[in-house]
Structure 1
Amino acid sequence: MQTPPDTGPLLAGPPVGESDPRALLLGYLDWYREALFRKLDGLTEEQLRTPVEGLGWPVLALVKHLGWVERRWLRWGFLAEDVLGRPPGGTPAEWRIEPDEPTADVVAAYRAQVERSRAITAAAGLDEPSAVGGRFPTPEAAPPMGRILFHLLQEYARHLGQLDAARQLLDGVTGP
């Protein structure tokens, strides 16, 4: 029996013919950023905000966490800006949504951080080292932009896989 042709794209992310490492890293990072919201689409406010049984965190907290990840690696890390690397309350606060914390505010904070991240990555070469200070105390500890982008990609890939599991537990839906 012959399998019908797949009508979706051959590869998700940047164009199939893209081979430039910078374009691939930034293209896939943007694809994952957009996939985050595709995977949340259709969830109710309650589903977004209630910790998922078996995981212990609400899916909206993943949006919050990824915004802090971008801030930690690009602003506090790469630029050594004098900003917090974690919210008050540390890591647990990244994975918690407070009752008085509007969903729109969590999404807006994430989107603002992504725009800041895009500006930072647009201005730096892949081989440009991170500034010393902030997250990286010495030149030896300061990775280049390309290494940071690669780390961000694996962070998004891992967490969006977790989001697939969370979504399946919530309503059985998974997808690109």
Structure 2
Amino acid sequence: MQQPPEPVPALLDGPAVDVSDAHELLLCYLEWYRKALMRKLTGLSDDQLRAPVEPLGWSPLGLVQHLGWVERRWLRWGFAAEEIVAYPPGGDTEEWTVPANSTTAQVMSAYQAEVTVSNSLVTTAALSDKARLGGRFTDPEQAPTLGRILFHLLQEYARHVGHLDVARELIDGETGE
């Protein structure tokens, strides 16, 4: 009996190799990193998701919560100029610390809700569209384009998914790429 051929590893991560449109490329890579975040959480118990990782000082679930706030700040408050709470009242500590009375499902749902709103704001907008005034940006000279905001989000995710690789290795020895 002939064995099936070994799967060929993808040469590139992210979107398909034939994606060349800058808007599609940025959105596809952003989605790829969002999914990478979730992949890297797979297999962790609720206690492992919630416990701060030493010496980092934050938990994997706290990182997810932080990225929800990042999505909110850059796309809803920044790009769309929505009048929303952009930072938790307790600052960075509250942004990265999951309250004991919040379930993992609630944190994940809140994160996913922010991603859903973000996607609705950027899917049909052009990369050259400038952020609306009145939210994060009040001066037209400082309002970035959607392309600039998406590039910032992409690097934010890439950096934090890398941080999660370190946290995961410290938690259970699991390594990623």
TM superposition shift of 1:88: 2.1
Separation in structure 2 between the aligned mates of residue 91 and residue 121 of structure 1, nearest angstrom: 26
1:77 aligns with 2:45: no
Which portions of structure 1, spanning 4 or more consecutive aligned residues, are displaced by more than 6 angstroms? Answer: none
Separation in structure 2 between the aligned mates of residue 163 and residue 173 of structure 1, nearest angstrom: 11
Write the deviation string for residues 51-103 of structure 1: whole angstroms up to 9, x where unpaired: 00100011100110001000000000001100011122122111101111111
Separation in structure 1 between the aligned mates of residue 68 and residue 100 of structure 2, nearest angstrom: 19
Taking only the aligned residue pairs, the percentage that are identical comes to: 57
Separation in structure 2 between the aligned mates of residue 18 and residue 27 of structure 1, nearest angstrom: 9
Q: Which residue of the partner structure matches residue 13 of structure 1?
A: 14
Normalized against structure 1, the TM-score is what?
A: 0.95
Partner AA of 1:45 in structure 2: D
| Pairing of 1:101-120 with structure 2 (within 5 A) | 101-120=102-121
1:155 aligns with 2:156: yes
Runs of at least 5 residues in structure 1 that lack an aligned partner in the other structure: none
TM superposition shift of 1:6: 7.8
1:60 aligns with 2:61: yes
Separation in structure 1 between the aligned mates of residue 135 and residue 91 of structure 2, nearest angstrom: 16
Q: Which residue of the partner structure matches residue 24 of structure 2?
A: 23
Q: Secondary structure, in 3 states, of the residue corresponding to 1:42?
A: coil
Separation in structure 1 between the aligned mates of residue 28 and residue 81 of structure 2, nearest angstrom: 24
Separation in structure 2 between the aligned mates of residue 144 and residue 126 of structure 1, nearest angstrom: 6
Separation in structure 2 between the aligned mates of residue 72 and residue 90 of structure 1, nearest angstrom: 13
Q: Which residue of the partner structure matches residue 47 of structure 1?
A: 48
Q: Which moved more, 1:62-71 or 1:81-90?
A: 81-90
Q: Which residue of the partner structure matches residue 100 of structure 1?
A: 101
TM superposition shift of 1:175: 2.0
Separation in structure 1 between the aligned mates of residue 164 and residue 9 of structure 2, nearest angstrom: 22
Q: Which residue of the partner structure matches residue 34 of structure 2?
A: 33
Separation in structure 1 between the aligned mates of residue 22 and residue 124 of structure 2, nearest angstrom: 16
Cα 1:165–1:6 change in 2 (3 A) is farther
Partner AA of 2:163 in structure 1: Q
| Pairing of 1:136-147 with structure 2 (within 5 A) | 136-147=137-148
Normalized against structure 2, the TM-score is what?
A: 0.94
CA RMSD of aligned residues (A): 1.2
Partner AA of 1:15 in structure 2: A
Write the deviation string for residues 100-155 of structure 1: whole angstroms up to 9, x where unpaired: 11110000000011010000001310000001111111001100000000000000
TM superposition shift of 1:43: 0.3
